[in-house]
Structure 1
Amino acid sequence: MDLNPPQEDPPTRRRRTRLACETCKIRKRKCDGQMPCESCRRYDYRCCYESTPRKRRLSTIATTQTCSPPVTLPSPGPQPLSIALELTEEKSMEANSGVVFPHVLGLKLSPDHAANMQQGSGWNLGVRRSPHRSEKSITWILSHGVWQRLFAVYLEKIHPVYGFLDLAVVRGQADRRWEDPCASNEYDAVLGGVAALGSLFSPRSKASEQERHLIECAKDILETTSTLVVHPGLHDVEGWLLRTLYLRCHSSPHAAWIASCTTMHLVEATALHRESTRASLVYPDVQTNVDCRRRVFWIAKLLNTWISFEYGRSQVVIRGAQCPPPVPTPGDLTTGLISLFQLSEKLDPDQTVPVTELEESLVRLESFDFDSDALILSQSVLAFTIYRRLQLLNPSGNMNTILDRVIRLGCRGLAASSRSIDASCPWWHVSNVPFQFTCILLAMDTRKSLVHVKDSLATLKKAADHFGTQKARKAFKTIHFLVRLSQKRKEQDAALLNESVGSTHGRSEGPFGEERSNGSLSPPPGDDGTEDSWSADPLLNAPDPSLLNSSYDWDVFVRDALDFSTTFPRLAEEY
């Protein structure tokens, strides 16, 4: 019998920094081991290292370690310019902050006690107690099986485009939530937002009491936990992102804009825009997946910027360095959406962009070849925005090539909108693209543009008939009214032209002395006194150059002609 069984390998320990100064140990900050370290140098703390390492207590034996002499480390070299600017900016933020200053003062006076100081002391009287947890629970609204069915819809239609959730975490939280309904409900905002979007995008889904309760539950939890607690977490930002997507799909522009701004403020509060490892009193430490953090930040920024552009409001701008975009992977639609957003950042109203750069952006925009209808719809909306900016900056320039590009991108959007209607995907672009495209076509007012008005109106009517919402029907009535106004304007222009050439009922004399009868146009007589073709018109074949100097409006003859006989039958009967 073996009296000495093999001993198990000791559990692996998490690697720590072998050397840290006393101030960083007390503040529980990461120390770079320099002398002085970066954190102490930044906040003007006293940086010192213990000369005798701590004794380590083992489970079986206790060993004493010998004293070691003080460690002398080389001073750090000069900081890069970007890091120096970031440090200066954050110090300025701390100097402005009355909330941070007591903590800074306490660290200077006694680092041992300052670590336990509560942030926000003296902020107000606190005469009322603020709730720290909502009483609502998602387990009261639906079962785990129903949530899994709605989660499957979310995975199919929404996550491929707006992929900012860690699906493994969501599944794990959902499993534990229904196993213990009495557990903490802080993550219910994410679970409820996923279920609400899944219900919204379900085939032939109608508004239900269950979906309304899900939205109310998520809203109550978000407003209680994420806005009233001292340190919100990543799940709070994710919950507000889901709420922003839901409101953008069905609610008013103001509600979606407010939700997107709140999301951006929480992004700053949770420091998701930072990837620096330096200690900060303004921003908390972030301990989340890097790719997930990047995706959450960029999607939040994307939604806030685009909603602000479309609504004509200001966007939330976070100071300081921002994390880079997520690394693209094959078939990753989220990074494709972020690429569109990076192209749209030039459209900031506060920036002055040359016309050539906008034209180059439109060329690059057309080069994107997406398979996702949601991305094609966003591509079309971005093309319309660029066109409006070009019209503002260069209203009298030659824009034939630009018009052709915008029309092609708009037609792509019409096809994507029609397919989304068939798939019951209520993206906000489904009605927005045909509505805006019709406005663009009427503003262009050329034969190439007006020929697409019919298809654009048909797509918008298809959306109104399929979803049957009041907003969709109102959008169709509004754009149909604008088309009728354009038609009426052209009828008035045609009547003016009709009057200018003397086309009235009965016999009248034309501008060259020819007689007209019963409102019909007769060509001018030829040299032999017989009626020749219109090619005999002296305006078209004038041997005498003096005729070219007549006072006629030559723009009438060189502009794009419109066949009024097919559009306005009443005029055709008169002619």
Structure 2
Amino acid sequence: MSSTQGRKRSRLACQTCRDLKRKCDGAEPCGTCVRFEYPCRYSAGSKMRNKPDRASHAPPSRSGGLLSQQQQHSPVDNNAITTTATTPASSSSSVQHQARSLEANSGPAFVRRLGFKSESKGGSSSPRVQTFAWNAFLGSRQTVQSPPPLARRRPVTELLSQQRMSYLASVYFQKLHPTYSFVEAGEVEQHIRLRWARPSSAHAEPVDAVLCGVAALGCLFSQVDADRTEPELVESAKCMLEQSFSDPPSVSSISAWLLRVIYLRLAGTHYPAWMASCTVLHMLEAAGMTVEDADPVALRSDTEQSSNIEVNRRLLAVSQHLNTWMSYDMGLSRVSLSGVTCALPSKRPGEYTTELMELLPFTIQLDPERTPQAASELESALQIVLDRVHTRPPTILGQCNLALCLCRRLRSMDFTLPDATIQRILVLTASGIQAARAILIDRAPWHHMAYVPFQIVCVLLAIDTVSSISQLRDAMQCLQDVAAVYNTHATREAMRTARSLIMLHQRGKEMLAAALHDIVKVYDVVNAPEHVTNNPAAPAAAALADDFAWLNGLPEDFSNIQDLSLEQLLSPEFFWNASSS
């Protein structure tokens, strides 16, 4: 490149490109958002900086969303800027917004809130605070039969035969790789051949860690109950990875760490999984794998090759996806990398990674650290997510999970969704239940297998219409089927909690029904005594009674009536004064 040609930067970048650290041409809409069909918008702060009379040394405004790169690396400056730029009232409002956003992003927090709401109606105790149905195991597969202390770090050739390693790898690439594709099948096959050809080879730990991770996930997706080998593979990979921190990060070590993150998300517990996901992102940044147009001197030797660019993109995208959602679930901070210039992964035949990764901009849009957004923006994002077509059960569950999170955020803002949107949400939740059943039949225990049906139960109760309540049976049956196949404490607890929420909701409805019954019983017009009166208003009253005589013709049992729209009858809009309730 000529010395006269420098890297061109746009003085104005849209909020989506800022959040994703992508290049922005400053157009409205910008080229990146047009290409990937992202919502393109500019913050007020960015527009002010684009004016000719702007202050040349003014600090970047926070009104656009996430902190600027300098603010992210300087907590002291963050506090100073926040203090000088906001009033106490606006600061308090921002804190309240962040608290509401954290609660709405977290499915477990929403369960607790829903329990409190039902408790106020039914007078019963709400469920305990847990990350309900976060996965189907919550660490139980690792505690079935713990490996001996001296055997926790063993070469993969001692843990598995070459034949079983090849079988577990085939399970991995058949069931998991199409959704999280960042490990090349050809390279794994080559590693297996070379590793068993030289079982006593030294310096094989990075490869062994990858093979152990692939094999552990193959065990998870090929057998309902864990055998002795599975926890040994997990522990061996963990020991190798922890001892590799002194070495520069490489594609192999980062891939092995990401395999561990996926296993922990699917079968482990919350905090180890979240911390491992943070580690992967920091390793990616340390290896220079978040920047594609950087000076090659800054990159590691195995990350600068053109053949690895697509692998780098996939490693980064999958890592961001997992870290962001785990952070939301647990109410913790996600790792926000600075200066990311990697493009999204390219589509490949037979792989569906891009279906999930294209949801990433909308996922990051929910970051509680962002400046409060208008409900209309979140509703627009929800409509785009509902419009998307996903083809594989795990990605359908990811789409459903994002839509449910957007619904919770809108609900936290007291925003009423239109009936048409609610019906579209119910269509998606029905698809989510079918997707969960499909992966259960396939014995592919994705983390959303129990988590999304459980969250669907909660959202259906919150929507509280005839259509949503009628879908509860399918969601509960799905949870029961999951608990029947993967009979763990986590699945049984999820089933019990979902049933408790429905019981609380039922008791609240029974209290309302009892109150209505008492009113009807007291004011029984049919059995009221007839009095002869000379009141001149009597004819008018009689005429009014004739107008509503049709009510007396309604049967006491509506269950056998066809073509009766209970949805319309029980809708709040059916009564003129419903808005005052």
Equivalent residue for 2:310?
Answer: 291
Report 1:175-574 matches (<5 A).
175-183=193-201, 184-186=203-205, 187-202=207-222, 204-225=223-244, 227-229=245-247, 231-278=248-295, 284=300, 286-288=303-305, 289-351=308-370, 352-393=372-413, 395-502=414-521, 510=524, 514=528, 535=549, 559=572
Relative to structure 1, the CA distance from residue 557 to residue 212 in structure 2 (aligned partners, 3 Å threshold; closer, same or farther) is closer
Structure 2 CA distance, aligned partners of 1:233 and 1:417? 35
- Between Structure 1 and Structure 2, the one with more helix by share is 2
Equivalent residue for 1:100?
Answer: none
Deviation at 1:434, TM superposition (A): 1.0
SS of the equivalent of 1:276 reads coil
- Does the Cα contact within 8 Å between 1:193 and 1:239 map onto a contact in 2? yes
Amino acid at match of 2:360: F
1:422-457 C-alpha deviation (Å, 9 max, x unpaired): 111100111011100000011111112111111111
User: Is structure 2 residue 169 aligned with structure 1 residue 161?
Assistant: no
SS of the equivalent of 2:217 reads helix
Amino acid at match of 2:319: A
Q: Which runs of 5+ in 1 are unaligned?
A: 1-31, 35-74, 97-133, 504-508, 517-524, 541-554, 562-575
- Does the Cα contact within 8 Å between 2:277 and 2:322 map onto a contact in 1? yes
- Does the Cα contact within 8 Å between 1:380 and 1:410 map onto a contact in 2? yes
Aligned residues: 414
Equivalent residue for 2:39?
Answer: none
Relative to structure 1, the CA distance from residue 140 to residue 362 in structure 2 (aligned partners, 3 Å threshold; closer, same or farther) is same
Deviation at 1:558, TM superposition (A): 6.6
1:183-209 C-alpha deviation (Å, 9 max, x unpaired): 12321110000000000000x431111
Relative to structure 1, the CA distance from residue 243 to residue 373 in structure 2 (aligned partners, 3 Å threshold; closer, same or farther) is same
Deviation at 1:413, TM superposition (A): 0.4
Deviation at 1:323, TM superposition (A): 0.6
SS of the equivalent of 1:502 reads helix
Structure 1 CA distance, aligned partners of 2:446 and 2:193? 29
Relative to structure 1, the CA distance from residue 515 to residue 240 in structure 2 (aligned partners, 3 Å threshold; closer, same or farther) is farther
Equivalent residue for 1:113?
Answer: none
1:374-422 C-alpha deviation (Å, 9 max, x unpaired): 11111111110110111122x1535322321221111100001111111
Equivalent residue for 1:76?
Answer: 4
Greater RCO (CA < 8 Å, at least 6 residues apart): 2
SS of the equivalent of 1:80 reads coil
Structure 2 CA distance, aligned partners of 1:177 and 1:491? 66
Equivalent residue for 1:71?
Answer: none
Structure 1 CA distance, aligned partners of 2:570 and 2:232? 64
- Does the Cα contact within 8 Å between 2:454 and 2:494 map onto a contact in 1? yes
Deviation at 1:213, TM superposition (A): 0.5
1:54-87 C-alpha deviation (Å, 9 max, x unpaired): xxxxxxxxxxxxxxxxxxxxx534542369x99x
Amino acid at match of 1:160: P
Structure of greater Rg: 1
Deviation at 1:152, TM superposition (A): 0.8
Q: Which runs of 5+ in 2 are unaligned?
A: 14-20, 22-59, 61-67, 75-151, 531-538, 555-567, 575-581
Amino acid at match of 2:504: L
Relative to structure 1, the CA distance from residue 442 to residue 423 in structure 2 (aligned partners, 3 Å threshold; closer, same or farther) is same
CA RMSD of aligned residues (A): 3.4
Amino acid at match of 1:400: D
Equivalent residue for 1:145?
Answer: 163
Tell me the TM-score normalised to structure 1 length. Answer: 0.66
Equivalent residue for 1:573?
Answer: none
- Does the Cα contact within 8 Å between 1:147 and 1:195 map onto a contact in 2? yes
Q: Percent identity?
A: 31
Structure 1 CA distance, aligned partners of 2:406 and 2:572? 26
1:466-510 C-alpha deviation (Å, 9 max, x unpaired): 11111101100011011001001111111111122235xxxxx63
Structure 2 CA distance, aligned partners of 1:491 and 1:211? 49
Deviation at 1:182, TM superposition (A): 1.5
